Chains A and B, each alone.
Chain A
Amino acid sequence: MSAVPTPTPPLGPRGLLGGSGSRLPDLVFRGGTGVFAWVVVAILGLLLILLVLNSRQVFGQFGLSFVTGTDWDPVAGMYGALPFIIGTVASSLIAILLAAPIGILTAVFLAELASRRVAVPLTFAIELLAAIPSVVYGLWGVFVLGPVLKATVEAWLVGTLGWLPIFAGPPFGIGLFAAGVILTLMILPTVISISRDVISSVPNHQREAMLALGATRWEMITRAVLPFARSGIVGALILGLGRALGETMAVTMVIGNSQRIPQSIFDPSQTIASQIATTFNEAGVGLQTSALIALGLILLVITMTLNVIARLLVWRVAGPVTEAA
């Protein structure tokens, strides 16, 4: 911003136009746009208020045991959210465990190793991955990925590690693991693009310093670049995790929709989002709806917290970053 001391117009505290324009049309304009801007804040506030209000009924009745209860039985009037919390956390955990190495390696490739000719089309392809609607992933997951996983990866895992309860079969294809894999695909673009931005913002003098000591390219990346970008990459992973937690349609279609706590990663399961998606409309007005809204509130709190933490971490390394959808 220029610091030229011109007599007109007065520079506003924030924007150039900030303090200017005292005539009526300008005031109206300013006020009008202000209203629109604050609408966004109002939407957020209203969202929180309405969710809390509508959850009161079930929290009033169950209190904390809503979160720890293991039985969800509308007929009996019992509402325990634990199976869905576990399903949510487990599927997202699988996703982040798979997406972290693949995503970070890919980001390193794009930012450090690939030439322009290769990096640009590859980035293009990965951005397109992010544009595919969730329900299309779900469709593909049910009819293509599920059977493939069942026949290959899951069969192999059960064969070799099936003695561990967590890997016990039989593999259905559909289930917690399939949901985890689909989620991996869906969060990879987020993890990659933010990590790549963060890695690119590492200053060149750091790379040169490490290379001048006689380091190979890979050693330079792991000893100078990645440590510098560490908190930003963690932020990218947390943002990816937040995305995974809130993902609905693809997960609903491949997770098996079981109300029981899964014992093995190949069991069918249910996330908070998928439980809401599948049962909301049949729920009568009343306790069940309140319970489902309360589920939503839990999910919202978790994802909001993660998002805020993640943004702070990313900002520390790469400056303010917006992901445009």
Chain B
Amino acid sequence: MTVETHVRMANDSDHGQPGPALAPKPDVRASLPAAAGAASGAIQTRALNVCYGPFRAVKDIDLAIPPNSVTAIIGPSGCGKSTFLRTLNRMHELTPGATVGGSVTLDGVDIYGPEIDPVQLRRVVGMVFQRPNPFPTMSIFENVASGLRLTGRMRRSELGDVVERSLRRAALWDEVKDKLNQNGTSLSGGQQQRLCIARALAVDPEVILMDEPASALDPIATLRIEELIAELRESYTIVIVTHNMQQASRVSDRTAFFTMGEDRAGYLVEVDDTVKIFTNPTEQLTEDYISGRFG
């Protein structure tokens, strides 16, 4: 199966050497056309609007997310950060009455195009949620394998390989390797979240969306998640929504600042290299937010 092949080849890069088809350098920022044969994972939104019925939640977002990097989205509560994140894997469609205007492309492919099945999209764009949500009726092994089981038959040994690889990538293998058959909820909060990350990694996505992944965790667990994100950026494009500015500054290469307009719709104020955003932002609103001024 090609998915598994891809995982094997990506795994060969674990020794620190870039694999044969890894993405261009992480500081490329402008919108990227699809490079033939290159697995990149660059996202570009243009004039993106999200409405729930008559109410507009997110307005006119033009945002480029470079591949193999970490992009953080910060901003006050309710300004549409999570809503925006969910448009990237079409999860907002679960809410009845949600509509999207504008375009979102992944390596040049319009993910809202008629030929794109959201089910397929979500294999390529994975998601980790705020509260760890392992499946309580499944063991640790089965949790990680759950995405793989959707696409049908795999021999137990291959499954075992992928599960082990995913757990290693999520920095959880050593802690659970002797208790793979235990229930997924028997782990601590931080471990459960890494389990969810392993579960997402197992289906070999290109992009990983994280919606406040550490906000429900204690500081030590949070630190481990942040370290993990740093490791993962080598192979994946990561978009992380966080209300914790310090976290954004630690973890991300680029940062986008959202806020709520007078019409209660969220919009993008500024996006730039993280260092610049946090030391010398262009917009006054950004400056106000990061220095804690209300207004």
Contact = CB atoms under 8 A, between A and B. Distances in A.
Direct A–B touching in the complex (beta carbon < 8 Å)? Answer: yes
A206 B199 CA distance: 13
B119 A216 contact: yes
A205 interface: yes
Contacts of B133: 205-206, 208-209
Interface in A221-235: 223-224, 227-228, 230
A153 interface: no
A214 interface: yes
Interface string B142-186: 000011011000000000000000000000000000000000000
Contacts of A215: 119, 122, 147, 150
Contact of B150 (A115, A207, A219, A228): A219
A214 B137 contact: no
Contacts of B131: 205
A26 B74 CA distance: 59
B20 interface: no
B203 A213 contact: yes
A224 B146 CA distance: 10
A115 B95 CA distance: 12
B150 A214 contact: yes
Given A211-B122, A214-B123, A205 B94 contact: no
Contacts of B129: 205, 208-209, 212
Contacts of B150: 213-215, 219, 223
A300 interface: no
A213 B202 CA distance: 9
B96 A210 contact: no
B64 interface: no
Nearest to A223: B146
Nearest to B93: A211
A210 to B, nearest CB: 7
Contacts of B196: 209
A215 B152 CA distance: 12
A215 B200 CA distance: 12
Nearest to A206: B133
Max count, chain B CB within 10 A of own CB: residue among A115, A215, A219, A230 = A215
A115 B97 CA distance: 11
B127 interface: yes
B91 interface: yes
B135 A224 contact: yes
Nearest to A203: B133
Nearest to A219: B150
Contact of B137 (A208, A211, A227): A227
Contacts of B136: 228
Contacts of A223: 135, 146, 149-150
Contact of A213 (B96, B137, B138, B147): B147
Nearest to A231: B137
Nearest to A207: B94
B147 A227 contact: no
B120 interface: yes
B127 A212 contact: yes
Contacts of A227: 135, 137-138
Given A208-B129, A214-B147, A115 B135 contact: no
A212 B91 contact: yes
A206 B123 CA distance: 17
Contact of B91 (A206, A208, A224, A228): A208
A207 B135 CA distance: 10
B75 interface: no
B146 A213 contact: yes
Given A115-B96, A223-B146, A212 B126 contact: yes
Interface in A10-40: none
A55 to B, nearest CB: 43
B19 to A, nearest CB: 23
Contacts of B96: 115
B283 to A, nearest CB: 33
B200 A206 contact: no
12 contacts: A205-B131, A206-B135, A208-B94, A209-B133, A209-B134, A213-B146, A213-B199, A214-B121, A214-B203, A215-B119, A223-B149, A224-B135
Interface of A: 115, 205-216, 219, 223-224, 227-228, 230
Interface of B: 89, 91, 94, 96, 119-123, 126-127, 129, 131, 133-138, 146-147, 149-150, 196, 199-200, 203
The 5 lowest CB-CB distance pairs between A and B, nearest first, are A213-B147, A214-B123, A212-B127, A214-B122, A227-B137
Given A212-B89, A212-B126, A215-B122, 13 more contacts: A209-B135, A209-B196, A209-B199, A212-B122, A212-B127, A213-B123, A213-B150, A213-B199, A214-B119, A214-B120, A214-B121, A215-B119, A223-B146
